[in-house]
Structure 1
């Protein structure tokens, strides 16, 4: 039983807590009112769906396949698998390259194919299996790249392994693995045996859920002619289908899709698959279950400041979607952007490429949020069957802390950008209509990126059965600090009387291991205690605790403050 004195104590504590809550609210409201003279106005219409909130973001890839089963590689893959409600697809280069399986920058090997003294094939799936086992164990799916050329099959086997390092000419990586096979029948048998082995190891149903694709960037990573590439594709696709008729095969993962050269390659490839003479079978056309191409931005250093450029990447995507939709035979094909990134070299760090300084902080986060939102809009515009966009960003084992690689984690510590994907993982159901007084129109951002005096404050929103997600970002191409901005979010169409609001954010104070690391003094040999602190800082954080809010007339107004290059997710549950 509670006596009168205890009741007075409880009452006093409640009043004190109420005072603190009101004080914090007033302080937050003051911060909101003092940031800008006029807040950005964002309207979210939850009762106006515009399309599915499909997880096209849940695709990742990397050059170095041997990182897959290493310590930090396995840790990151576990985190990637956990952030998505549906299976994550993973793409890696060099799955058929000859070598000892030791990883290096822009290099990997599995030694899947060698030959004896008489030229007879020797297949060894040990390393390939260890890579795919790591995926399958986590419920992930391979976007299995058929490449590159084993040394014993290459028409130019020497030199084979390169020793490229950041700062070296990029062309140095193009060695014997980039050449056509000396025997297309042996190549086809290798592909057939690989797919057959995969079915035996993982089961028909599992392998049917994968995607297979031939090579990578044949307009750069291929030391043969266009017709020789089509021949390689035909032999590969035929081998895949012979091993598993229901397997899904695609191509061509062209680079620089918007360029005249890439468009020439792409149109010729699609026409070959539709009506050309198949090099392997002699029949008309070639199997094509998915169309793949690449999209990259182009950051530069201008007067010592990083200036991003989303326009080239979005133009690549527009071009790819437009080409796919121009053929009756391909307009409904699954489309995968095989690499989709702010620029083109993940292993080129800040030391040799200072324009890549965006990678550690929140600029990478806001760029990712703003660009992925436009991928949805471009798919809507061209009415294509957009399946996924592969972020070519993973991790690099045993490298300096925050070296400036394009990665999601450094030495097992998550970077801010990974938290954008955690936000995406909390959005599902249908995308809904959004309006913002500061959001760049689609055609304008495709043409010019975000170059005006003001930054962009944009939004992407979704609704599911009893939850809604509103992603907001404050983005500008220039990596410069700006005054934090007040944003008034007007939400309509809420089918509940009360909601719980959880506010997640990525800024200099939240979800940001990089800022914490710098405050530590940028240690290259952090202690175990420091690493634990960094790991915690790398997780997605909330602003305060979840709040219960009353909904009036199916509407709600939420005021937030959004610093430049920050990303927030307002999660409503009822």
Structure 2
């Protein structure tokens, strides 16, 4: 029995909800995307959203033309306005990522992804600066300076990888960052700019980025990097399988920037993990499973101690970096599939959204919080084996002694495991239809609902003893609410079938 203290140990960080990732930003123009975003904001409520491609050709911002023998440039914000309007309408703000390079401004033709984002430096840093200045000035004019000052602005994406930045040229990235950061501050000194948005395994870039920023006196308002724990891809048609490191590896990666930047000018800056997940592949079936929710539960419970934000990559399976998905469940990054079917990891986030602000206890398998009205909320998860050498325990026992302020509490339990709150399992039983029919979609939405149970629990000396048995890969949310019994004094359930009661 683990005794939970009556007094809070602090406040529960909500760094997990500061930002969420998305496929390329122009996808916000689509109906399924907007429907998914509305749902996730209603049930979870993220604050910012980050995606690639704000300045790529699909958004149509950079528009050069020749007139009377002179080359000119027009900056068009037709799609930018529609995208940002859609995000703000859903109650979420942009976390701007400046990239990729418009083809007509690029110094080369190298691209990444099915949708061909150009990853080469600008042929003219002056024109790039004009593009950045014009875009930000437009956003300030349209949405107001106070609003846009709340939108972090990140320069590029994973420049340490040749796939995302030609030759992974660090000096070229520093030059791009310097030009961009000064341009951002020319628009307004209060705008937030940062980087270097590196992928895992390139932490030496952080130290050199700090040296560069200090040597060149370059503005940096936050530091960003990414975190994943998967090994090399083992390809199968339209998918991959990968080994996984323990989830604690994600927490280690979250902690790296502050550890490496001690003693530098960047030491006290906010740290944003602008992408994190288990696998870095958008076609790994692990993302769709109950295992994945249990695997990430300790990350959400502890990650706020190490970073100012950590952004799940991504909120929806509407994501086309390797092409249009070939099946409803295809291992996509999303918390939601197309057509808004909730995955087990989606429920992990909804459970976190129902936790209280006062942190009472945390352990290897549980998180306990309290609400201002006295409610106690418990998030518990079964341990997993990320090596795949075992399926994990069939049963996991957890006993908690919880502080309460009533003689009895109403206990509501919501459960997600291999069989409950798990549309992926139902889809597999159904025969894995690539394009489910309307009736099948209804079944999958039904299967995605967590199992729920309710009971009343007596207390003793201001404590309730909660015994939980978790199944394999289960996450569960238990909410304990003080009971005020308003049943009339003559109520007796034995009367239901007419039995005489003295």
Same topology, TM > 0.5: yes
CA distance in 2, matches of 1:228, 1:482: 47
CA deviations 1:40-89 (Å, max 9, x no partner) are: x554334241443324244211343232222321122112212335x521
Which residue of 218, 222, 228 maps to 2:165? 222
Which residue number in structure 2 is paired with residue 264 of structure 1? 204
Matches within 5 A, 1:133-532: 133-156=85-108, 158=109, 160=111, 163=114, 177-220=118-161, 221-223=164-166, 225-256=169-200, 259=201, 262-273=202-213, 275-277=214-216, 285-299=217-231, 307-310=243-246, 311-324=248-261, 326-327=262-263, 329-346=265-282, 349=283, 356-377=284-305, 379=306, 386-393=307-314, 394-396=316-318, 399=325, 400-412=327-339, 413-435=341-363, 439=364, 458-466=365-373, 467-476=375-384, 477-479=386-388, 480-532=390-442
SS in 2 for 1:139: coil
State the 1:140 CA deviation.
Answer: 0.1
CA deviations 1:199-249 (Å, max 9, x no partner) are: 122222221221111001111121263222122112212222222322111
CA deviations 1:330-382 (Å, max 9, x no partner) are: 33322110111112222xx2xxxxxx3322210111112122224235x2xxx
1:251 and 1:92, CA in 2 relative to 1: closer, same or farther beyond 3 A? Answer: same
SS in 2 for 1:129: helix
CA distance in 2, matches of 1:292, 1:491: 40
CA deviations 1:113-156 (Å, max 9, x no partner) are: 02112332211111222222221001101110011111111111
Count the aligned residue pairs: 460
CA deviations 1:520-558 (Å, max 9, x no partner) are: 33223323222122223324x24323x333322221111
1:58 and 1:503, CA in 2 relative to 1: closer, same or farther beyond 3 A? Answer: farther
Which residue number in structure 2 is paired with residue 121 of structure 1? 73
1:510 and 1:162, CA in 2 relative to 1: closer, same or farther beyond 3 A? Answer: closer
Native 8 Å contact 2:98 2:155 kept in 1: yes
1:190 and 1:237, CA in 2 relative to 1: closer, same or farther beyond 3 A? Answer: same
Native 8 Å contact 2:210 2:265 kept in 1: no
Calculate the TM-score normalised by the size of structure 1.
0.75
1:110 matched to 2:37: no
Native 8 Å contact 1:317 1:375 kept in 2: yes
CA distance in 1, matches of 2:112, 2:468: 53
Which residue of 443, 455, 463 maps to 1:533? 443
Which residue number in structure 2 is paired with residue 550 of structure 1? 458
State the 1:421 CA deviation.
Answer: 0.6
Calculate the TM-score normalised by the size of structure 2.
0.85
Which residue number in structure 2 is paired with residue 10 of structure 1? none
Which residue number in structure 2 is paired with residue 72 of structure 1? 32
CA deviations 1:457-484 (Å, max 9, x no partner) are: x112222212332111112214554553
CA deviations 1:267-308 (Å, max 9, x no partner) are: 1112222x222xxxxxxx122221111111025799x99753
SS in 2 for 1:197: helix
State the 1:568 CA deviation.
Answer: 0.7
CA distance in 1, matches of 2:251, 2:452: 32
1:229 and 1:525, CA in 2 relative to 1: closer, same or farther beyond 3 A? Answer: closer
1:148 and 1:401, CA in 2 relative to 1: closer, same or farther beyond 3 A? Answer: same
SS in 2 for 1:475: coil
1:307 and 1:496, CA in 2 relative to 1: closer, same or farther beyond 3 A? Answer: farther
State the 1:518 CA deviation.
Answer: 2.4
CA distance in 2, matches of 1:208, 1:330: 20
Native 8 Å contact 2:392 2:473 kept in 1: no
Q: Following superposition, which runs of at least 4 residues in structure 1 exceed 4 angstroms of deviation? A: 159-164, 299-302, 304-307
Which residue of 31, 36, 47 maps to 2:7? 47
Native 8 Å contact 2:285 2:330 kept in 1: no
